[in-house]
Amino acid sequence: MKLPPITKTYGSRGVLDLPALELEDGVIHAVIGANGSGKSTLARILAGVLVPDGGAVPRTGRVGYMPQRSYPFRMSVLRNLRLTGAGRDRAMAQLEAFGLAGLARQNAKGLSGGEAARLALARLLMEEYSLLILDEPTAAMDVAATLLAEELLLQYQARTGCTVILVTHSLTQARRLAGQVLFLRDGHLAERGEAGELLRHPRCAETRAFLDFYAL
């Protein structure tokens, strides 16, 4: 997956300035960094929701996107999944996998934040994409729901072979899921590399300071 140089400014303030990148296909790439480092801006640009300064980033294949805040539709939990065109049995099986089957008849607007996030991810994973962009998908979930969602994501990625861009504030999540890591600092790419190596033995002093601060 080849990305052109990506820049984004708001007025006179630059929020993202990345070089051309080539990301390995079929791999989960975790994007980490402090608040304001440009992680969500990058996710929105790759998803086509936000246009960078140089024009839209070329896209190949189907792209799925889960933004940081996902809102369910004002209908039953089951109907939210059936919006994908899936039959009732398949939709119920997905709800069962995500621990939401008991809420199938409930209006999705009454879900808690963690339940709504699980529903959003469940709905997204009903379809197949070549590129999946997830912006803090488990931030609202408790530990058990997070681990379940991670396992289902790994199963989906293994089955479809899709490339995943995972924006996460959790370094332990990056370690559990990612094959590659990109560390953003002040809108710039400070370091990238294989997840196990970068998260344990970063080359860049800025990365090391970030990891030490969050006590991986």
The domains located in the chain, with CATH, are 2-70+128-213 (3.40.50.300)
Digit-coded pLDDT (tens) for 129-175: 999 999 999 999 999 999 999 999 999 999 999 999 999 999 999 99
- Ranges in the chain, pLDDT < 50: none
Tell me what pLDDT residue 12 has. Answer: 86
- What is residue 101's predicted lDDT score, i.e. its pLDDT? 97
C-alpha 215 chain-centroid distance: 22
The four Cα atoms 125, 130, 5, 180 give a dihedral, to 10 degrees, of 70
146 forms beta bridges with none
In the chain, the percentage of residues whose pLDDT exceeds 90 is 90
pLDDT at 215: 62
Environment class of residue 142 by beta-carbon count within 10 Å: exposed (0-12), middle (13-18) or buried (19+)? exposed
Q: What is the CA angle 99-132-88, rounded to 5?
A: 40
Structure confidence at residue 141 (pLDDT): 96
